[in-house]
Chain A
Amino acid sequence: DAKTTQPNSMESNEEEPVHLPCNHSTISGTDYIHWYRQLPSQGPEYVIHGLTSNVNNRMASLAIAEDRKSSTLILHRATLRDAAVYYCILGPGNTPLVFGKGTRLSVIA
């Protein structure tokens, strides 16, 4: 399975943008870059995914490096409800997703 590297934890102030990095130097051409998040005592929740181009949705933006070896999840304006563990996962779509430990995001009021 293609591996990702994320910081263990990050901190952000409320109402400020947050950039969550992910390195995936062994990504293959067919791997999608997925982001999920897990709020306390809940199952993981889909955030966004991309293949080559940057992506935006109502929750976040995904910026993908030109060589695809890294990506950044951008939360444009962090709220207290965004405090969660964020997982960056690679997968071609036809195999089960393999989760790492993710990045624990703390949001300070």
Chain B
Amino acid sequence: DTGVSQDPRHKITKRGQNVTFRCDPISEHNRLYWYRQTLGQGPEFLTYFQNEAQLEKSRLLSDRFSAERPKGSFSTLEIQRTEQGDSAMYLCASSQGSGANVLTFGAGSRLTVL
């Protein structure tokens, strides 16, 4: 297994455009998480899935953000009508969801909104 893959690694967009990020978790992991990280801060939790069910969403996740995991495998995070404040690193992680629930993170997708 190649670990958690995220695509694209970098995205530059103009304010008002829509962007979509994809995450491919470790295949036997049933939980998938999205985090956002801005410069100098720790990752902030956005949302997570158990299989295809979205179990929790942070208050940080505005109506412009939507995440899906349609078949319980890969996930997408879409941001509509991007704003400059959306510029951040978007991190995906997956886990088996048992015991201490150790997370494996991807390398992240860096978004720059001009």
Contact = CB atoms under 8 A, between A and B. Distances in A.
Contacts of A44: 43, 91, 93, 103, 105
B43 A94 contact: no
Interface stretch (A17-25, A67-75, A95-103): A95-103
Given A43-B93, A44-B43, A97 B103 contact: yes
B106 A43 contact: yes
B100 A34 contact: yes
Interface in B77-110: 91, 93, 97-108
Interface in A1-60: 32, 34, 36, 42-46, 49, 51
Q: Is the interface of A mostly helix, strand, loop or mixed?
A: loop
Nearest to B106: A43
Contacts of A43: 4, 91, 93, 105-108
A100 to B, nearest CB: 5
A77 to B, nearest CB: 24
B100 A97 contact: no
A99 to B, nearest CB: 3
Contacts of A96: 33, 45, 48, 56
A46 B102 contact: yes
Contacts of A91: 100-101
Interface string A52-94: 0000000000000000000000000000000001010001011
Given A36-B103, A44-B43, A87-B42, 4 more contacts: A34-B100, A93-B100, A97-B45, A101-B40
22 contacts: A34-B102, A42-B107, A43-B4, A43-B91, A43-B105, A43-B106, A43-B108, A44-B103, A45-B105, A46-B102, A94-B101, A96-B33, A96-B45, A97-B103, A98-B45, A99-B42, A99-B44, A99-B45, A100-B42, A101-B40, A101-B41, A101-B42
Interchain residue pairs A-B with the least CB separation, the first 9? A43-B105, A99-B42, A93-B101, A32-B100, A96-B45, A99-B43, A49-B100, A44-B105, A93-B100
